[in-house]
Amino acid sequence: MNLDEMIKSMSREDIARVMSIVSNKQPRRVDTSRRAKRLAITNLYFENAPLPHKTTYEEYKLHAEGIRQQCISGVDLDR
């Protein structure tokens, strides 16, 4: 049985019941919370990242790794 035959065999009440379930006229909302979290982590890193030309390479590497670990753990994302 194809869709056209199924629709023709339905009564008005059946169609009304199906349409009340199917017809959702609400606009769809896209969840952007994951993207916002990723952007917050990226912004947190670049706001606090050391400048390589102002420190020694070893200090820069340790400081950058510390900030990276904080970003991964989610520290200070609720600012």
pLDDT per position as a tens digit, 38-60: 888 888 878 877 777 888 888 88
For residue 77, what pLDDT is reported?
60
Q: Average pLDDT of the chain?
A: 80
Confidence check: pLDDT of 33 > 60: yes
Cβ contacts of residue 15 below 8 Å, gap of 6+?
Answer: 7
For residue 52, what pLDDT is reported?
76
Size (the chain), residues = 79
For residue 61, what pLDDT is reported?
85
Output the six-digit token pair for 53.
């030309």
pLDDT tier at 28, thresholds 50, 70, 90: confident
Long-range CB contact pairs, 32-41, < 8 A, 24+: 37/77, 40/77, 41/71, 41/72, 41/74, 41/77
